[in-house]
């Protein structure tokens, strides 16, 4: 809060000459008022500036505070296991991961919209109150997917002794713990996906070596078999269903 006040003071000092030199009938760039409760409110122009600045964090929010991380890593490992370097393309995998993330996170987003966004738009609560309300379902989702060992690790690294329980851990501790747990879970799922395709590669490589065809790449022979196996077992439905059900505890 002190840093915010310092930035506001600097901004006011820079804007004051321009405001004084402008036409007295024009609207000032920054207006700060104090309500009866003692809280300070700023003009719409400054709020818009802060909102536009906050929008730059949306990609980080999508990648690190939702199910996107686990999904995109599993999709990338699946493509590597199949032996396909550029198919499906990165754009297709990212699009699939985004829409699957929206599907999985829909209950969380609905709760944020119902408890925080709509009351704020209806002027039933202030922006700080709406942000506090919006944090609750997001933190509950991350806590349900975060391993206690990872959370304890970052709490120990932060040297915070004023946190009574994991439910009250701030986002600065919860987010890295959540990402660490997601990476571990994604690699566990990826390992299980890799095994059957690895077996096909080993079998094909052994057959080619037994036939004396050591100059022929096993990937050329095994790739059609891996694609055929993946299609026959309806692999995309299995992978997407497994990913969606892995968040069933939310």
| Residues ≥6 apart with Cβ < 8 Å to 9 | none
Q: At what angle do helices 171-210 and 148-158 cross, to 10 degrees?
A: 130
- Distance spanning both ends of the chain, measured CA to CA: 33
In this predicted structure, what is the pLDDT of residue 130? 82
**Residue-level pLDDT, tens digit, the chain, 250 residues:** 444 344 333 343 444 444 344 444 444 555 656 666 666 655 556 667 777 777 777 777 778 888 888 999 999 998 888 888 778 888 888 889 989 988 988 888 888 888 888 887 887 888 778 888 888 888 888 888 888 888 888 888 888 777 777 777 788 888 888 999 999 999 999 899 888 888 888 888 888 788 877 777 777 778 888 888 888 888 888 888 888 888 875 4
In this predicted structure, what is the pLDDT of residue 38? 62
- Rounded distance, CA 99 to CA 186, Å? 18
In this predicted structure, what is the pLDDT of residue 184? 92
In this predicted structure, what is the pLDDT of residue 32? 59
In this predicted structure, what is the pLDDT of residue 72? 92
SS (H, E, C) the chain: CHHHHHHHHHHHHHHHHHHHHCCCCCCCCCCEEECCCCCEEECHHHHHHHHHHHHCCHHHHHHHCCCHHHHHHHHHHHHHHHCCCCCCCHHHHHHHHHHHHHHHHHHHHHHHHHHHHHHHHCCCCCHHHHHHHHHHHHHHHHHHHCCHHHHHHHHHHHCCCCCCCHHHCCHHHHHHHHHHHHHHHHHHHHHHHHHHHHHHHHHHHHHHHHCCCCCCCHHHHHHHHHHHHHHHCCHHHHHHHHHHHCCCCC
Greatest Cα-to-Cα distance within the chain, rounded to the nearest angstrom: 91
């Amino acid at each position: 809060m002190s840093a915010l006040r310092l930035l506001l003071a600097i901004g006011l000092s820079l804007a004051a000459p321009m405001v004084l030199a402008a036409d007295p009938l024009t609207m000032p760039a920054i207006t700060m008022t104090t309500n009866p409760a003692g809280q300070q409110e700023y003009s719409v122009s400054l709020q818009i500036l802060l909102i536009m600045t906050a929008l730059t964090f949306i990609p980080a929010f999508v990648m690190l505070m939702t199910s996107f991380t686990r999904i995109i890593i599993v999709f990338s490992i699946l493509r590597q296991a199949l032996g396909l370097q550029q198919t499906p393309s990165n754009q297709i995998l990212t699009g699939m991961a985004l829409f699957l993330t929206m599907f999985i996170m829909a209950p969380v987003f609905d709760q944020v919209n119902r408890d925080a966004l709509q009351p704020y738009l209806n002027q039933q609560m202030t922006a700080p109150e709406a942000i506090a309300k919006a944090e609750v379902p997001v933190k509950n989702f991350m806590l349900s997917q975060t391993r206690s060992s990872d959370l304890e690790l970052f709490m120990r690294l932060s040297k915070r002794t004023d946190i009574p329980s994991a439910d009250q851990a701030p986002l600065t501790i919860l987010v890295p713990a959540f990402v660490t747990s997601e990476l571990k879970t994604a690699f566990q799922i990826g390992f299980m996906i890799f095994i059957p395709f690895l077996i096909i590669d080993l079998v094909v490589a052994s057959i080619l070596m037994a036939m004396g065809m050591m100059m022929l790449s096993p990937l050329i022979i095994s790739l059609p078999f891996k694609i055929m196996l993946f299609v026959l077992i309806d692999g995309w439905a299995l992978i997407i269903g497994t990913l969606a059900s892995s968040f069933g505890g939310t």
